[in-house]
Amino acid sequence: MRQPSIGAFALVSMILAWSASAPAVDRHVTEAVAGTSHRPLYSIAFEQDGEHGLAVGDRGTMLVTADGGASWERGQLDTELAAFDAALSGDKRVVVGQMGLIRYSDDGGESWTAVDAGTSQRLMGVSMNASGLAVAVGSFGTILLSEDGGASWRESAFNPATLVKDNYEPHLNDVHVSADGTVTIVGEFGMVLRSPDGGANWEGVHSGDVSLFGLDLHANGLGYAVGQSGTVLRTTDGGATWTSLETDLEANLLGVYADGDGTVTVPGMRRMIVSDDGGESWTQVTDGDVDRNWYIGAAATGEGLFVAGHTGRVLRVEKRPSGG
């Protein structure tokens, strides 16, 4: 049976599975942005300088920070379409979303240009490296490639349906472009796709029964992918191979961020779990409203780790000081 995809964004109507098996963890959650009712945020991303960031969401909603998330201002994309993801590299910015939406900026987000993506498919994820290689992915196996930092795009000749039983066209939900041009994509059917050469050649390196929604990879080869039914996968070789980790959850996990000290944060539907040992064990965050609502994006700066989600809220998640 084909698994439902987050690409449909029927978030509030999905069956929210509860699990009490993960113990609570002492994390401090504070509100960074109160948000706007009925305008959820679907992604949060920062530039490598750790200062400049974007959060994007429904009806072209965009929040902008230039101080690592300490303060946020409203931006403007001039669209009523939903924006699902953003990528930043230097002065270049790319936002993707509903009905093939692509907005491009080469001046740090001061101005935005509408780009013809050549598709009307929903674009769920985008990533870009410092060399200007950008990849956007979306519904029904859509993969778009850009070599100029998002100013122009072409469709990949690769068809992920060739890797799926009965030639279903899998929804692709997230993507990562590494500094050396390796591209990793996650999506339906537990699919992890990998291209070592900027999208010229592709291979399927993982498959399964559930959809994968979020992906985080690092230059040292460590990375995580998360999805339905508490699924967490880990790689230690840059995405070439993946191992399933035990979480004892049935919740839908929607985003992931890992830092260099073994801490992994995974927001989702009425669940947020964290690990302080690289995913060997997991504990559950109960501070704030993370066990009652959903959060999907996760990113970190010197100001802390941020998640974004329902009603346009942005939260800061921090380890509570010892004895606090």
Which structural domain, as residue segments, surrounds residue 62? 14-319
In a domain, 6, yes or no: no
**Which pLDDT score, from 0 to 100, does residue 38 have?**
86
In a domain, 3, yes or no: no
Q: What is the CATH number of the domain that holds 241?
A: 2.130.10.10
Overall pTM surpassing 0.85 (yes/no): yes
In a domain, 8, yes or no: no
Q: Mean pLDDT, to the nearest integer, of 294-310?
A: 92
pLDDT band at 322 (very low <50, low <70, confident <90, very high): low
Residues 220-255: tens digit of each pLDDT? 999 999 999 999 999 999 999 999 999 999 999 999
Q: What is d(CA 179, CA 197) in angstroms, rounded to the nearest whole number?
A: 11
Q: Is the pLDDT of residue 11 over 70?
A: no
In a domain, 285, yes or no: yes
**Which pLDDT score, from 0 to 100, does residue 120 have?**
97
In a domain, 7, yes or no: no
> What is the 8-class DSSP label of residue 115?
-
In a domain, 116, yes or no: yes
Domains in the chain, number? 1
Which residues, in sequence order, are CB contacts of 141 under 8 Å at separation 6+? Answer: 159, 160, 161, 169, 170, 171, 172
Q: Is the pLDDT of residue 207 over 60?
A: yes
In a domain, 53, yes or no: yes
**Which pLDDT score, from 0 to 100, does residue 8 have?**
40
